[in-house]
Amino acid sequence: MNDDPTHRLYLDALEEALAETAAGDAPPQAPLRPLTLTAARARRRPAASVSGWTAPFAGRIAAMDALLGEAGEDDWGRETVEGWTLQELLAHLAAKDGLVALSAGAPVLGPPVIADEALARTAELQEYERRRVPEQTRRDWRAQADALCRHLAPLPPETPMTVSGFTMPVADHLLARMLETWIHTADAAGAAGVRLPDPVPGHIEPTADLCVRLMPLTMLMRGHAVAEGRAVRLVLTGHGGGSWHVPLHPGGRAVREGGPAGAAATGRDTRGGGPADATVTCDVIEFCFLVGGRGEPARFAAGVEGDAGLARDLLHAAPALSGP
């Protein structure tokens, strides 16, 4: 039986999702594969203690690994996104995890890194993995990700780190890896006809916080010249959501209103924000996926009060940092 605490955390979340559906607390959805249900019930234990700022990423790695544990030969060869098979998608995740590991001095599996650039490393690693059986790809992807978590855990989360020329706190780099792993796990699950539970709220909240804090940068990248003093209030509904005041000028710092555990843990300012030109209200998970390149900004479901043009610009700019 698997004693990995992050794996048990995933199974706990799966069982909780099933219990909510059975109790009528969640809308009915497509059924999960029987094997997934059996695994969750067979391995149900008291809630595992997974702590520390690496836990959101570790939780998504465990979720993806649980999904891969059910993959048959047809699943590994099935197209997911970008024209990639499941094995190629996993190689893409391993490539980008490996670039974080390279910057952190953690182990990097596979061929030596020639260029510290995501698409180049993805192509290189996909070519390498096509010559191996899928279980070898899965094994090395998981081993590299677990080693990265162990290597980073002792570091202060605000430690600056540069990955592919982009510098930000190491905790934010790992939250970015959490978001991409979450999205690609959903891609793989959708291709296989499997429904997975959402991350636990304590993992959604810091990820949503990162997505919100990226908004001034995404606006800049989309060419929106926003004068100092212009701001929006983002209200993200659902478990792990909250309200943020977001100054949109370059260098503006988003502030979570109310002071969540995730923001306090990294020492960020959690005081209330100021006035806003627009208030945008939407679902927290849908917003995270929009930032991650899933969803159509023009059709994105959001309530808007105030300056509708500014709100529209923000939602269209949200995916600016997303990639394959």
Residue 103 one-letter amino acid: S
- The β-bridge relationship of strands 255-257 and 166-169 is unpaired
Helix 134-152 and helix 86-104, axial crossing angle in degrees, nearest 10: 30
What are the tens digits of pLDDT across the range 11-56? 544 444 444 434 444 433 333 343 343 344 334 333 333 459 999 9
Q: In what helix (H) or strand (E) does residue 120 lie, and over which residues does it extend?
A: helix 118-129
Is pLDDT larger for residue 265 or for residue 279? Answer: 279
What are the tens digits of pLDDT across the range 79-110? 999 999 999 999 999 999 999 999 999 999 99
Work out the pLDDT band at 259, boundaries 50, 70, 90. low
- Domains in the chain: ranges and CATH: 5-198 (1.20.120.450), 205-321 (3.30.1050.10)
Residue 192 one-letter amino acid: A
* Cα Rg of the chain (Å, integer): 20
Two tokens at 143?
A: 């081993």
Residue in 54, 52, 64 with CA at minimum distance from that of residue 10? 64
